[in-house]
Amino acid sequence: MTEKEEYAVILDYLPYGYPVEKKTNPIAQAIGVKTFALLELVPRRGITLAPKEKVYIGPDKRDKIYYIAGRLSREKLTETAKIQLLEFVEDVVGEHEQKFVDFYNNAQAINTRLHQIELLPGFGKKHTQELLEARKEKPFESFEDLKKRVKSVSDPKKAIEKRFMEELLERQRFNLFVK
């Protein structure tokens, strides 16, 4: 059973719908806070939504959202939505640092030739090997700790953020963070 979203964060609000479409109904581009699904939401009449606003989209009575129009295709994302998406990803990675540090601590090989860590931008076989050696000694406690102990890694937080964005904006063979 797929996990249902209860809340979404507004990325962009189009009060007159998409400029190229004939329909002029308001639409909001949003991202689910649990599964990170990109969604199109139809607001209730008379409701205006703002970027970064968190709205309830669960099964009970919704105060601001009339219904979920469906998944939002990556191609339809507005420029505003892309900027908001980047800020959303930076916030999520910052707020849940421990979860992402644990990714570095627990990442496994996908097959004999590829490791999960190698899917991160800027990580090749050499960086991955150094990281695996360092985590054998003791698990990383933070991004700072990782940077100190694995000198070749420039910014472990940025690498996660970049990968996260790639998974949201283009199809990937393996997803690490987006369901």
pLDDT digits (tens, 9 = 90+) for 68-124: 999 999 999 999 999 999 999 999 999 999 999 999 999 999 999 999 999 999 999
Tell me which CATH homologous superfamily contains domain 96-169.
AF1531-like domain (1.10.150.280)
- Candidates 24, 26, 8, 160; CA nearest to 71 is 8
Domain range annotation of the chain? 7-74, 96-169
* Mean pLDDT in residue range 42-53: 96
Q: Is 122 exposed, middle or buried (0-12, 13-18, 19+ CB in 10 A)?
A: middle
| Cα 62 to Cα 76: distance, rounded to the nearest angstrom | 25
Which ranges of the chain would DSSP assign to H, the alpha helix?
79-95, 97-106, 125-137, 143-149, 156-169
- pTM score of the predicted model: 0.90
Distance CA 166, CA 154 (A): 19
Question: Residue 2: its pLDDT value, please?
Answer: 62
Average pLDDT over every residue of 140-155: 93
CATH-assigned architecture of domain 7-74:
Beta Barrel (2.40)
- Grouping H, G, I as helix, E, B as strand and the rest as coil, residue 106 is helix
Nearest C-alpha neighbor of 43 from the set 19, 14, 22, 71 = 14
Average pLDDT of every residue of the chain: 94
Q: Identical fold at 7-74 and 96-169?
A: no
Average pLDDT over residues 17-23: 84
Sheet holding 38-43, edge to edge: 54-56, 7-14, 27-32, 38-43, 65-71
Read off the pLDDT of residues 111-138 as tens digits, 9 standing for 90 and up.
Answer: 999 999 999 999 999 999 999 999 999 9
Asked if pLDDT for residue 165 goes beyond 60, the answer is: yes
The percent of residues in the chain predicted with pLDDT above 90, rounded, is 89
Are residues 85 and 72 in contact, defined by beta-carbon separation less than 8 angstroms?
A: no
22-47 mean pLDDT: 93
pLDDT at 1: 47
